[in-house]
Structures are given as structure tokens and as C-alpha cells.
Amino acid sequence: MALIVQKYGGTSVGNVERIQGVAQKVKGFREQGHDVIVVVSAMSGETNRLIGMANEISQRPVPREMDVLVSTGEQVTIALLAMALTERGCAAKSYTGGQVRIHTDSAHTKARIQAVDDENMHADLKAGRVVIVAGFQGMDDNNNITTLGRGGSDTTAVALAAALKADECQIYTDVDGVYTTDPRVVEAARRLSKITFEEMLEMASLGSKILQIRSVEFAGKYNVPLRVLSTFEDGPGTLITTEELDSMEQPVISGIAFNRDEAKLTLLGVPDVPGVAAKILAPIGAKNIEVDMIVQNVGADQTTDFTFTVHRNDVESAHEVLEGVATDLGARDVRKDSKICKVSVVGVGMRSHAGVASQMFETLAAEGINIQMISTSEIKISVVVDEKYLELAVRALHQAFDLAAEDAN
């Protein structure tokens, strides 16, 4: 008998029939003798619908009221699921985030969990009840409702699993696990039976949308065994763990991530003197624009070209800032390009293998794909290429690193 935290995403509870399906599934786990805590998202599309209404009323809705509004989506699903379980003779009780005292800071719409009170949950489990908790929400010091950022139900589930020292945190979704890459791009993409937290964190930061980034950080920090599985099909899913395979079995690359959401900006002919990078990026930061990759190199004429990427939504305001900076610094020109994408190979196996970068670059070269920017970390190599080569690049790399081959375990 185990203590399991299960999280069901928006599609899994997308209508009444699916909520009944989830109830049936949860009941099955109870019958096997497990203690179950269920975290649910709002029905799919509901959070967007609520945000849409707010935006019709105000261009800048008060963040506190935004949280009061969007937290209602999850309140609907917890109640319906509790009813569906009760209807099946399975005792259950629902709680909002505030009721279960998921204590957060006061950063509305992107609050962070600070503490979880597990007293109620333990009492319910002891009494044989399934505990159902609204994902994505908590309460601050002053009893204000807060939310944890889009996709935050994953983080709720992991936080509860950490607080309760659950045996496993299971994230049920509409895919049956984490894949070597997006199967819509590469048909031969394969489900991974295991992936490390570090790799999953890179994949999530690089554009894989399976788990909220913060939930992976949290699970890694508290060592919560996390599993991604399908609500609709039985199967083992993908286990996210701290454990690495031994180096014989560890593949060099575990997955390929990509991202079409970035744009590139370049300042041409900036004087090569101390303080220039700070002068360029400080006003970008002041506008709350996040910078991802940065490339700078000194030319023979004592000037440098300074290139960086930002989210595509920010490209116009970043460009505006740069026009001002360019005049101040006496730069030659400012360029912007939104027709780019970032393709990354990720794998802890890279640490013990030389030559991954050259294999990646040779593969792209063989397809005639020009690399515009490169950045690396210990377990990842990212390149920026022309957007039109995205599919080709991902397919070629998937093949070059032999990712379709069977899992080692």
C-alpha cells in the first residue's frame, strides 16, 4: 500500500464524462489499497475563458481580482470529482488551496508556495477518504487567494507529494509520457522510460510543455519521484528521477527540444569598450524583457556585433529600446529577426562523451542548415537556425543520435 498524489490536467477533466472516468480510475487505486490525494486542473479551456472575460473588462486587471477569478476553474472540478467519487461509493472530500492551507507569498498570478499544512489531509486519509485538492492556487498571509502561474497545478501536486512524503507523484495528462522529441515532428520519436530531473528541467525550459518548469525544480529539490502518464491509456509512462543509468547504458542524448517563440536582435558595430554589454542589456531588463542567448565577438576594427534573443512577444519593445541605445553608443545599425527557432539536444550522457557538439554541427551542415547562434551548458547544446529548417533539423538530429532505438531499460 502506497501514498500516491495524482494530478489530472485540464483535458483529463475536460467534461462531465471525463470527470466520471477519472473517478473510476481513482476508485481503482483505492480498491488496490492505496491512499490517494488528487489534484485537479480546471476543465480544459476554462482558465483561458476566464482570462478572456477579464481582458474584455480591463486591459490591466487588478492581479488580486485576477486570482479570485481564475481560481474558480479548479473549484468547479474538485467539487464535481468529489461528487463522482461519492456516487461510486468511494468517500472523498474536496478542498480549495486556501482550505488545505497551501501557504504562498503574495505575488499574485505567480505566487510561490511557502508551506503546506498536511493536518487535514492526514486526517481524511486516515478516515479512508480520497482527498481532492484544487491545483494552481493557494493563500497568502492575509488570506488573499493567490495562483501559481499557468500550468501551476503540476506544482501543487509536487508540493503536496513533498509535504506528505508520498511514494510517488503521478501527473496524468493526454500524452503517455515524455518523448525523445515531439512525435508530431518526428514520427519515430519514442517514449522514454526514465529521464533525470536535470534533463527534464532543460527540456521544460527549452519548450517542452509537458510539465510546469517550477514543478520539476520543486520535485528535484525535494526528491519527489515524479511520473508522467496518460489518463486515457494504461502504461508505465515516464519516471523522472535523480538516478542516472550507468555510463554504459546512459545514452549520450536523451531528447531534442525546440522552440519557435524566440526572436533575435543585433546591434551592429558597437564600440569595443568596457561596459557596453551592460549598457545594452540594462534597459532591456528594466523593461522586464527576458534575454535568453547572447553572442558577442570582437571584430578587427575594434567594434563588436552584439546579438541576443528574447521572446517573440517582446521583440518590438526590445527593438525600440535598442534604437535608443544604438544612438547613445554610436552603433552602426539595429536588426531584428523573428523568423528563427532554437533547437537543443539534451542529455546527462554528454558529460562523459566528447564530440557531441561536433556531431550536432556536422549533422546540421550535412543538411545545409546554417547555425546563427550557439549556446551550451553541461548537459545541453542549443543552436539558433532559420525557422524554416526546424523540422529538418530536429529529424536529422533525432536520427544522428539514434534516438529511435530501444530504451536501455
Applying CB under 6 A, the residues found at the interface with ligand ASP are 10, 41-42, 47, 73, 135-136, 150-153
Pick what 42 binds: Mg ion, ligand ASP, none; C-beta below 5 to 8 Å, kind-dependent: ligand ASP
Cα dihedral sign, 217-219-222-223: negative
38 or 329, CB closer to Mg ion? 38
Does 135 participate in binding Mg ion (rule CB under 5 A)?
no
Least distance to ligand ASP, CB of residue 97, Å: 11
Q: How far is the CB of 95 from ligand ASP (least distance, A)?
A: 16
Q: Which is nearer to Mg ion, 14 or 151 (CB)?
A: 151
- 151 contributes a contact to Mg ion by CB under 5 A: yes
Question: Which residue sits closest to Mg ion, CB atoms considered?
Answer: 151
Closest distance to ligand ASP from the beta carbon of 46 (Å): 7
Task: Phi first, then psi: give them for residue 184, nearest 5 degrees.
Answer: -75, -20
Relative orientation angle of helices 119-126 and 153-164, to the nearest 10 degrees: 70
Buried-state track 94-112, b at ≥16 Cβ within 10 A, e below 16: bbbbbebbbbbeeebbbbb
Stretch that binds Mg ion, among 80-88, 113-121, 144-152, 306-314 (CB under 5 A): 144-152
- Whichever of 99 and 296 has its CB closer to ligand ASP, that residue is 99
Minimum Å gap between C-beta 116 and ligand ASP is 17
**C-alpha cell belonging to residue 60:** 490591466
3-state SS assignment for residue 226: strand
Q: Where are the beta strands (DSSP E) in 205-332?
A: 226-230, 238-241, 255-259, 262-271, 291-298, 303-311
- DSSP tag of 238: E
**C-alpha span between 226 and 240 (Å, rounded):** 5
Question: What is the spatial distance between Cα 372 and Cα 366, in angstroms, rounded to a whole number?
Answer: 16
Which positions from 167 through 226 interact with Mg ion, judged by CB under 5 A?
none
For ligand ASP, give the closer residue by CB, 227 or 395.
Answer: 227
Closer residue to ligand ASP (CB): 174 or 391: 174
Which of ligand ASP, Mg ion, none does residue 152 bind (CB under 5 to 8 Å by kind)?
A: ligand ASP
Q: Which is nearer to Mg ion, 9 or 347 (CB)?
A: 9
Distance CA 9, CA 171 (A): 8
CA 273 vs. chain centroid, Å, equals 38
229 binds, among ligand ASP, Mg ion, none (CB under 5 to 8 A by kind): none
Residue type, 201: L
In order, the DSSP letters of 327-379 are: HHHT-SEEEEE-SEEEEEEE-GGGGG-S-HHHHHHHHHHHTTPPP-EEEEETT
Question: Should residue 9 be labelled a site residue for Mg ion when binding is judged by CB under 5 A?
Answer: yes
- Identify the three-state secondary structure at position 16: helix
> Which of the stretches 146-154, 221-229, 256-264, 375-383 binds Mg ion when contact is defined by CB under 5 A?
146-154
In the bound state with ligand ASP, the residue whose beta carbon lies nearer, of 14 and 73, is: 73
Rounded to a whole number of angstroms, the minimum distance from the CB of residue 390 to Mg ion is: 23
Binding marks (x or -) toward Mg ion, 228..267, rule CB under 5 A? ----------------------------------------
311 contact choice in ligand ASP, Mg ion, none (CB below 5 to 8 Å, kind-dependent): none
Residues whose CB falls within 8 Å of the CB of residue 235, separated by 6 or more in sequence, listed in order: 176, 177, 229
- Of residues 39 and 396, the one with the C-beta less far from ligand ASP: 39
- Beta bridge mates, 259: 342
Rounded least distance, CB 47 to ligand ASP, Å: 3
Q: Which residues bind Mg ion (CB under 5 A)?
A: 9, 151
